[in-house]
C-alpha cells in the first residue's frame, strides 16, 4: 500500500513557466540551435528555495552549478536542457537536474542555476 504525501496549501506560493529549447529545424551553419526558447507550460504553482550549507553541497553532487531547487507538480517532458521562468520577476533558470522523488510522481524537484 502506497502512502500519499500531503502538502500544505501554502507550499506552492510562486508561479513558474517552463521554456523549451528551439526546435531542431532552427540550426545555424555549425549545427547549433538558434532562436528563442518557447513557453510550453504556463503559470505552474511552484516552491522556490535558494540552496545553502549542506543542502547546497548535496545538490552540487548531482548538478555542479546548482543554486536553487524549484519544486512543481509532476509533468512529463521536463528535461535538463529546459529553462524555468519565475513569473513576475523576469528571472530565468537553467534546469540542470530533474528529480522525481522516489519515482512516486508526487512532485518534481528541479535543480537550477540562474541565467545572468
Q: Where are the domains of the chain?
A: 14-114
pLDDT of residue 103: 73
3 pLDDT band, cuts 50/70/90, is: very low
Residue pLDDT, tens place only, 9-21: 667 889 999 999 8
In the numeric block, the cell 500544505 is attached to 8
- Give pTM, 2 decimals: 0.82
115 pLDDT band, cuts 50/70/90, is: very high
**Exposed, middle or buried: residue 5 (CB in 10 Å: 0-12, 13-18, 19+)?**
exposed
CATH top-level class for 14-114? Answer: mainly beta
**Exposed, middle or buried: residue 21 (CB in 10 Å: 0-12, 13-18, 19+)?**
middle
pLDDT of residue 96: 95
Side-chain-facing half-sphere of 100: CA atoms under 13 Å: 11
| Beta strands per DSSP E along the chain | 14-20, 38-50, 68-72, 83-86, 91-100, 108-114
Instruction: Identify the top-confidence range among 6-20, 21-35, 43-57, 94-108.
Output: 43-57
Amino acid at each position: 500500500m502506497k502512502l500519499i504525501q500531503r502538502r500544505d496549501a501554502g507550499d506552492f506560493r510562486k508561479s513558474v513557466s517552463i521554456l523549451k529549447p528551439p526546435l531542431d529545424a532552427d540550426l545555424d551553419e555549425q549545427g547549433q540551435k538558434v532562436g528563442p526558447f518557447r513557453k510550453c507550460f504556463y503559470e505552474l504553482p511552484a516552491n522556490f528555495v535558494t540552496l545553502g550549507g549542506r543542502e547546497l553541497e548535496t545538490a552540487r553532487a548531482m548538478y555542479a552549478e546548482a543554486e536553487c531547487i524549484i519544486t512543481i507538480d509532476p509533468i512529463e517532458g521536463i528535461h535538463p536542457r529546459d529553462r524555468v521562468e519565475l513569473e513576475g520577476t523576469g528571472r530565468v533558470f537553467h534546469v540542470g537536474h530533474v528529480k522525481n522523488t522516489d519515482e512516486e510522481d508526487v512532485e518534481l524537484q528541479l535543480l537550477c542555476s540562474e541565467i545572468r
